[in-house]
Amino acid sequence: MKSGRTIQAMAAEIRRQGEAKADYMVDTRCLHMEIWDNQPFLLALNESGHDLMEPMDIQTTAHRQISTYLDIPIKYYEKMRQNDPELLAYNVNRWLQRVEPAQRMLRTLDGHARAFLSSRYRRIDNYDVAGIVTLVVGEMPDIQFGSCELTEDYMYLKVVNPRLQDEVRPGDVVQAGVSISNSETGRGAVSVCPFVYRLLCTNGMTATDSTASKMRRTHSGPRILTNRQFFVCAAEVLTDSDQDFVRNLQTAVREAMDEARFVQLLNQMRESTQLALNTDNLEEVVKRAAACVHITETESAGILQHLHTDGDYTLYGLANAVTRYSQDVESYDRASKLEEIGYTLMTMAPELFRRINQASGIAA
């Protein structure tokens, strides 16, 4: 799996962000985009034109959410952002005054507007999720935090249980684990999935199908109703009504590393070792497989190289080439996605595997 922060560094950054972030409910009629040094900034102005908050530069996710809210096609929005920021500001400001007025939640951190969300957005923040998870993990002997990271949009906690391990093939040892993720910017739910760590090449694989995923809690709640044009949201706290969520999260973490679930994943891995790839045209096989799971051409080339290096020309080998390549990419978000894609490929439907594997006209 891709290296990240230590759990100690992760905890320190979560605490720091907790103190540095602020959330606002803003009437869309108060919002205004200005351009300084060729960069868009978001302002909130009262009826007299005075600032209600410090101008904030806008992170990518917030840009995309503004684009969606104003129904400006993202391709055109990004073209304006890159080539004509003044035109972008003109369009955004024009449509902010023309759309039906609404309350939106503006999430900020370190002077950046990082999310532009519905008034129904329910804040379940990293501090709470990490606190619940670490308490559960602390009850388990010898548990290790394999990799942790905070990116612009996500928190990741990947935990490994070295006490629960077995061999896929002789000498190929894998250990049970769990992957927990959360987004504070509207990019994803609280998610808990089984995770497998392969000692041979330090690969990680996340099981994300409907039978594997143990928990997914979306950030939706009751609409915040107010007549105020602008106010700072109080810090969200978990209340008695959230105790079902807390219990479900605790249970999901435990069950993701359950022995029966681990055996199920292990058997899926063993089955995939029996499915040989068509080596007569391996490049085409990899290309077709990549197209099914939205792997780029550059990524496909790197995966093919790892497949040749490992020399395991089975479906299991292909899945491991994907998860091994995940360690090469710069983005931790993308690396985590590739760990999911590896599992998706390994467990693909037999008919899909046959079609992919007939790349040069030779049946599987």
- List the chain pLDDT tens, one digit each, 364 residues: 888 999 999 999 999 999 999 999 999 999 999 999 999 999 998 887 788 889 999 999 999 999 999 999 999 999 999 999 999 999 999 999 999 999 999 999 999 999 999 988 888 899 999 999 999 999 999 999 999 999 999 999 999 999 999 999 999 999 999 999 999 999 988 999 999 999 988 889 999 875 555 666 676 665 665 666 666 776 766 666 678 888 889 999 999 999 999 999 999 999 999 999 999 989 999 999 999 999 999 999 999 999 999 999 999 999 999 999 999 999 999 999 999 999 999 999 999 999 999 865 544 4
Contact at 8 Å (CB) between 195 and 204? yes
pLDDT score for 245: 85
Nearest to 154 by CA among 333, 340, 338: 333
Give 70's strand partners: none
| CA 64 vs CA 70, 114, 235, 326, 331: distances in Å | 10, 10, 25, 25, 19
| Residue corresponding to tokens 């999720």 | 129
Question: How high is the pLDDT of residue 1?
Answer: 85
Token look-up 């990004």 returns 78
pLDDT of residue 266: 95
- DSSP collapsed to 3 states, the chain: CCCCECHHHHHHHHHHHHHHEEEEEEEHHHEEEEEECCEEEEEEECCCCCECCCCEEECHHHHHHHHHHCCCCHHHHHHHHHHCHHHHHHHHHHHHHHCCCCEEEEEEECCEEEEEEECCECCCCHHHHHHHHHHHHHCCCCCEEEEEEECCCCEEEEEEEEEEEEEEECCEEEEEEEEEEECCCCCCCEEEEEEEEECCCCEEEECCCCCCCCEEECCECCCCCCCCCEEECCCCCCCHHHHHHHHHHHHHHHHHCCHHHHHHHHHHHHHHCCCECCHHHHHHHHHHHHHHCCCCHHHHHHHHHHHHHHCCCEHHHHHHHHHHHCCCCCCHHHHHHHHHHHHHHHCCCHHHHHHHHCCCCCCC
Q: Is the pTM of this model over 0.85?
A: yes
**Token pair 């939205």: residue:** 294
